Amino acid sequence: MSTPPFLAAARFPSRRSVVHAPGGMVATSQPLAAQAGLQVLLQGGNAADAAVATAAVLAVVEPMSTGLGGDAFALVYSARDGAVTSLNGSGRAAAAATPARFAELGLDAIPLDGPLPVTVPGVVDAWHALLQRHGRMPLADVLRAAIGYAEHGFPVSELIARAWAAGETRLRANPASARTFLVDGAAPRAGTRFRQPALARTLRTVAEGGSAAFYAGPIAAALVAALEQAGGWLTLQDVAAHRSTWDTPLSTMYRGYRVYECPPNGQGLTALLALNLLDGFDLASLGAASPAALHLQIEALRLAFADAAATIADPQLVSVPTAALLEPAYTTARRARIDPQRAAVIAPAGSLPGGHDTVYLSVVDAEGNAVSFINSTYHGWGSAFTAGDTGIVLQNRGAGFVLDPAHPNVIAPRKRPYHTIIPCLVTHAGRLWASFGVMGGFMQPQGHVQMLVNMLDFGMNPQEALDAPRFELIRPYQEPRAVATEYGADTERALQALGHQIAERESQFGFGGGQIIVVDEDGIRHGGSDPRKDGAVVAY
């Protein structure tokens, strides 16, 4: 047995220890959710069962980031045959949604709040699809912990309490949201118990009736009625027509490891394009956190985002040239645009808004199956529109569309929008090596790249990779392409000398939050959980 290189010596002074375990492992952004997934594993469930259980609890305990009103994506690794499959659980626009409809309302952009940016929530069908294909437990058992926390309450986590408070103004603007998520007009404080009886009823209905109860039953009727009353466009037919899809994932090689991402309409392609560019540079010789290494990563991501802006859209309605973009010849030509000594000026290819509120979870079970799963309502509190007494705040994923009729990502009937949420899986020599993700809008492909560079180029263990400082292109589709960093003044001055514009991060929740599980050749799991979130790694 070979020793994982990251166990040989610490490369970064980590704030937490790596969690090592021989059996099942769950990593996510909230401890109660992680424990719910672990409990399912201990009860005989597998990675798919545990992933849905964890996601459902997150929908209760981290409601500003995720919920039944959002979407989900997953990458699934099968230990039996080594296959990796991609689940697209994103919803679609209303059949009535067109640029002309927005123009009639005098709008030149899709709003972030209210009923208009709401697309069909895809997550419940994604849970159903994941369990149907890969799970072994009934949905009612998998949802038991989430129902319990919604009905009996849970103590609000510290960082989640801060994010909750940051959304107070938007929640107050919608009476149902204020009634559901505020206590005497204010967000609950950290450590206080919060109950969601309406969501408990909704979850119990889903547990008893499955996906059909959500998309063709009383829940769908309640969602549509609330939206119609507020001027929204989704109909019962739009909701009932929704289905998740199973797709062939995209992948590329980086340092001898195969990196998998979900295909468009998600932005996983962005990470693969950047990794292709970086694979031609010797980052290890430059040193971790060196301005030279950071410069190359920033420039590679700028090029990748430019390609993504011009091409990523719903592949069922638009031709997305993923194969051509990943071709070695194309990579070589794009790499030639990177000057190791100077930041380039790259024309923007589009203008898309990006939120930072998402949840990510990773599960590896004792058999070696893995689920890399991400679940989101897009911006914090999504559209801030809660559908009546369902307890469901609806996503504003429609704001990921553009209104330019010539753009591939223009809004159109029953179309899926450009999606920011992306899980990741990595294999090495045909076996699972890592299941990980980094939430946070357009930070996500940037986080994927930085985590892989940290581990594969600089030898960091999973916890070190997450603890290490990060950079973020805070407006990757707009000029100026400012960079926010967690590095010190000396590093930022060196980046400025290379031509980069340094800016303050735009949100207290910037730089995302990640979870990583690495599996070594002996089958030992090594887990890390981001200190920028309330999360934990739990295992047996």
| Dihedral over alpha carbons 139, 145, 149, 155 (to 10 degrees) | -140
Is 59 inside any structural domain?
A: yes
Is 472 inside any structural domain?
A: yes
Backbone angles phi, psi at 485, to 5 degrees: -140, 160
Q: What is the pLDDT of residue 4?
A: 45
Q: Indicate whether 474 and 378 sit together in one domain.
A: no
Give the DSSP letter of residue 120: -
Q: What is the pLDDT of residue 479?
A: 62
Is 494 inside any structural domain?
A: yes
Q: Indicate whether 345 and 493 sit together in one domain.
A: yes
Q: Indicate whether 68 and 42 sit together in one domain.
A: yes
Read off the tokens for 431.
Answer: 């076996």
Cα–Cα distance measured from residue 243 to residue 400, given in angstroms and rounded to the nearest whole number: 20
Is 23 inside any structural domain?
A: no
The tens digit of pLDDT for each residue in 154-197 reads: 999 999 999 999 999 999 999 999 999 999 999 999 999 999 99
Q: Indicate whether 222 and 305 sit together in one domain.
A: no
Backbone angles phi, psi at 372, to 5 degrees: -105, 115
Q: Indicate whether 121 and 203 sit together in one domain.
A: yes
What are the catalytic residues? 358
Is 422 inside any structural domain?
A: no
Domain span at residue 216 reads: 28-246+358-400
Q: How far is CA 17 from CA 175, 533, 537, in A?
A: 44, 16, 10
Q: Indicate whether 188 and 232 sit together in one domain.
A: yes
Q: What is the CA radius of gyration of the chain?
A: 22
What is the domain-level CATH number for residue 491? Answer: 3.60.20
Mean pLDDT, consecutive 10-residue stretches, the chain (540 aa), reads 42 77 98 98 98 98 97 98 98 98 96 97 98 98 98 97 96 97 97 98 97 96 98 98 98 98 98 98 96 97 93 95 95 94 67 61 98 95 97 97 96 97 97 96 96 97 96 80 90 96 76 96 97 96
Q: Which residue has the tokens 């499955």?
A: 210
Q: Indicate whether 345 and 375 sit together in one domain.
A: no
Q: Indicate whether 311 and 381 sit together in one domain.
A: no
Q: What is the pLDDT of residue 474?
A: 85
Q: How many residues does the chain have?
A: 540
Q: How far is CA 374 from CA 75, 354, 389, 446, 466, in A?
A: 9, 16, 26, 16, 17
Is 160 inside any structural domain?
A: yes
Is 14 inside any structural domain?
A: no
Q: Indicate whether 388 and 445 sit together in one domain.
A: no
Q: How far is CA 342 from CA 117, 178, 291, 501, in A?
A: 39, 49, 11, 12
Count of structural domains, the chain? 2
Q: Indicate whether 369 and 500 sit together in one domain.
A: no
Is 10 inside any structural domain?
A: no
Taking a C-beta distance cutoff of 8 angstroms, is the pair 415, 407 a contact?
A: no
Q: Indicate whether 336 and 370 sit together in one domain.
A: no
Cα–Cα distance measured from residue 485 to residue 489, given in angstroms and rounded to the nearest whole number: 10
Q: Indicate whether 509 and 373 sit together in one domain.
A: no
